[in-house]
Chains A and B, each alone.
Chain A
Amino acid sequence: MSSVPRVTVICALPSEAQALVAHWRLNAQRERPFRVYGDGNLRVLVSGVGSHASAAAVGYAAGLDDSRADDIWLNIGIAGHAHHALGTPLLAARVSHHGRDLAWYPSLVFTPPCATSALITYDHAVTDYPTDACCDMEASGFMAATSRIASGDLVQVFKVVSDNAASGIGVIERTRVHGLMQAALPAITALVERVREVALRLPVAAADELTSALLTRWHFSHTQTTQLRQLLQRRALLTAQAALDMQTLTDCRNAAAVLARLRAEVDALPLPAARTE
């Protein structure tokens, strides 16, 4: 696992993505079925408008690479709100779809870089704003899709208020969206860093040359490989990473004998004194 958790950002509109792509200096990687910018540890996808499109983009992005436990998923874009000022950044604390009971609660396991708000996803653009929530057209699809593939603690929805009761959707156009996203970049980059810090709390599998050496020398079944990894991990913890003398295993005729020898050694190990000194 890379030491830097991978971030995938789903935007509905090219104009929402543009400021992020420029800020992070991402290169276009794919054109169809979704525009993809960046690779490695940071990428931005343009899903198109609507919750189904957002869900489809999540599924597509998830299939581009092997999934990892520390993958971070962000839905970033614009939203309407009855009274918040234009340009206000908001982190969704509750996401629901208009007319449906189901709701998602993105984990606030860090200090948010901006205010939080409930968010309601609609199937159409809204001019009659709800009183206590912002509204968009994608987040519920994004949450539904990511809830099946990602750690729930690493999924967030971030919106910038683009329209409100005083300034409706009629005046939203591309350069304005770009400007709103540009102004929200400090909050967005802070969000990315904070969620990455959360992801780093997940346990990371250690690099493992010894396992490779043993797997090369004897034939281990899939189950035996798992057992070997567990035994070597236990041994490393109880011996403070003491090196294993391969000579002690040379007379083992097969993988089962290796496992038995290691198990006998590890089961006899006490908790190191250093643990409670």
Chain B
Amino acid sequence: MIETVYIEREVLDHPRTARVLARVRPRHVITCERYGEVFNRHNQNFRVQKAHPALILAAKHGRRLLPVPGGYGFTAEPAFYFSHMLNCLYDCRYCFLQGMFRSAHYVLFVNYEDFIADIEAECARSDAPRWLFSGYDCDSLALEPVTGFAATFIDACAKLPNAWLELRSKSTQIRSLLNRPPVARCVCAFSLSPSAVVDAFEQRTPSLAARLAAIKRLQAHGWPIGLRFDPLLPVADFEAVHRAFFNQVFAELDATKLHSVTVGVLRLPRDQARNIARLYPDEGLFALAETERDGLVSYGADTDALLDWCSAELARRIPAQRIHRQAA
């Protein structure tokens, strides 16, 4: 439950602000000038705030559409990411956000119309497909009943013939997707992990079974589905755990209808890895041996072997050209 909402003065009268407040019904509403006054101040602590985060309603200025980092996604076509929200309802111990931000408050940028204008401008630059990734700095669907993000952006992107949208989520908040016809150029991508990993490292997320049930309904409804086996964590009995996991996933889902599958090991920029280890000195995952490649830190011995093994296992179940390895 969100008890406190901060609102930038600029968006006090924004219609989406009113809708969010009506839905959240916070006990405390506080006006601020800019969200940076509250969010990510130098002496804040992500771990402390994560137990009781506030919601900040703000306007996003400056660059709203950014090129994806190298090795992200599955396409050589122009690809961008955008963040209508910073931070996430969930508390995954490996999440890079806890190393990137000092604050765990949720920031929701309510000026969707400006994001959409930027997307329209980018798509007007040429007829070539443009991939648009949401869910980079947040979960695309987890707060959907409050934000209406997917409902708004799917409609906007569906009008642009060269726009391809990816929603990235661990959530089961799929009602808005089931209440409308599917859009062929919108991929609903779900991050999946073995149940043991969900229980140990993905606090507050829906169970694997619940996620699979949601994906199955979306697939039956006609939505293109992406599976994201990312990050793979170097857990004990890795092969046995993941073989059973893949069996469970592909027993539930129609592999022939999957849009894409990506696999990747846990990899974090050096500074973020250091920040997270400081936040959670009691977390064994960050006590594993580190390997650094191109500025990204991975954990555990021989991450390439994990990727090779998973890629081979997946290739037994789906066409290899739909499997995309993320840079280790």
A interface residues with partner B (beta carbon < 8 Å): 93-94, 101, 103, 105, 107-112, 116, 118, 147, 150-154, 198-199, 201-203, 205, 233-235, 237-238, 266-273, 275-277
Contact, CB under 8 Å: A271 / B288: yes
A277–B236 Cα gap in the complex (Å)?
Answer: 9
Contact, CB under 8 Å: A238 / B287: yes
Tell me if B196 counts as interface (CB < 8 A to partner A).
yes
Contact, CB under 8 Å: A275 / B200: yes
Contact, CB under 8 Å: B48 / A273: no
Tell me if B199 counts as interface (CB < 8 A to partner A).
yes
Instruction: Tell me which residues from 189 to 214 in chain B have a Cβ below 8 Å from any Cβ of chain A.
Output: 194, 196-197, 199-201
Tell me if B282 counts as interface (CB < 8 A to partner A).
yes
With A111-B3, A269-B288 given, is the CB distance from A276 to B235 under 8 Å?
A: yes
Contact, CB under 8 Å: A108 / B4: yes
A205–B279 Cα gap in the complex (Å)?
Answer: 12
Among B49-57, B117-125, B134-142, B255-263, the one that faces the other chain is B49-57
Which of A101, A108, A237, A276 contacts B54, CB < 8 Å? A108
Q: With a CB–CB cut-off of 8 A, which chain B residues contact A108?
A: 3-4, 28, 52, 54
> Which B residue sits closest to A205, measured CB to CB?
B281
List 9 tightest A-B contacts by C-beta distance, closest first: A273-B236, A234-B287, A267-B289, A276-B196, A152-B43, A237-B287, A237-B284, A109-B52, A153-B48
Q: With a CB–CB cut-off of 8 A, which chain A residues contact B201?
A: 276
With A105-B30, A152-B41, A234-B287 given, is the CB distance from A272 to B236 under 8 Å?
A: yes
26 contacts across the A-B interface (CB closer than 8 A): A93-B28, A94-B32, A105-B6, A105-B30, A118-B30, A152-B41, A152-B42, A198-B51, A199-B48, A202-B47, A203-B278, A203-B281, A203-B282, A233-B287, A234-B287, A270-B236, A270-B300, A271-B235, A271-B236, A271-B285, A275-B235, A275-B285, A276-B199, A276-B200, A276-B201, A277-B196
A107–B292 Cα gap in the complex (Å)?
Answer: 36
> Which A residue sits closest to B234, measured CB to CB?
A271
A101–B9 Cα gap in the complex (Å)?
Answer: 14
Tell me if B44 counts as interface (CB < 8 A to partner A).
yes
